[in-house]
Amino acid sequence: MLNNRGSSSLSGHAFQITQRFLSDIGNAECTGIYQRIIDETEIGMLRAVMEYTQGNQSKAAQLLGITRATLRQRLNRHKLRE
């Protein structure tokens, strides 16, 4: 059982969103939920950080704790580059 389901924590938000997604799909066939959630979360995070840093990839990479090359790879993967 998870202890921290508070709505103010990131894990709490992830829990609630995952619960809502599972409720929405109901009994429908669905596979690959893990990767879909990871990808969707990464897209939102990258968009928010790039907006926060006004598109400065060096600042964004530093804030995320990844290299600029990794940031560029992730932006390209999700087609988020201008």
The 3-class secondary structure across the chain, one letter per residue, is CCCCCCCCCHHHHHHHHHHHHHHHHCCCCCCCHHHHHHHHHHHHHHHHHHHHCCCCHHHHHHHHCCCHHHHHHHHHHCCCCC
Task: Please report the domains of the chain, with CATH numbers, ordered by start residue.
Answer: 31-82 (1.10.10.60)
pLDDT at 74 over 90: yes
User: pTM to 2 decimals?
Assistant: 0.79
Determine the Cα–Cα distance for residues 34 and 56; give it in Å rounded to an integer: 30
pLDDT, tens digit (0-9, with 9 covering 90-100), for 37-62: 899 999 999 999 999 999 999 999 99
pLDDT, tens digit (0-9, with 9 covering 90-100), for 5-44: 555 788 999 899 999 989 998 888 888 989 998 999 999 9
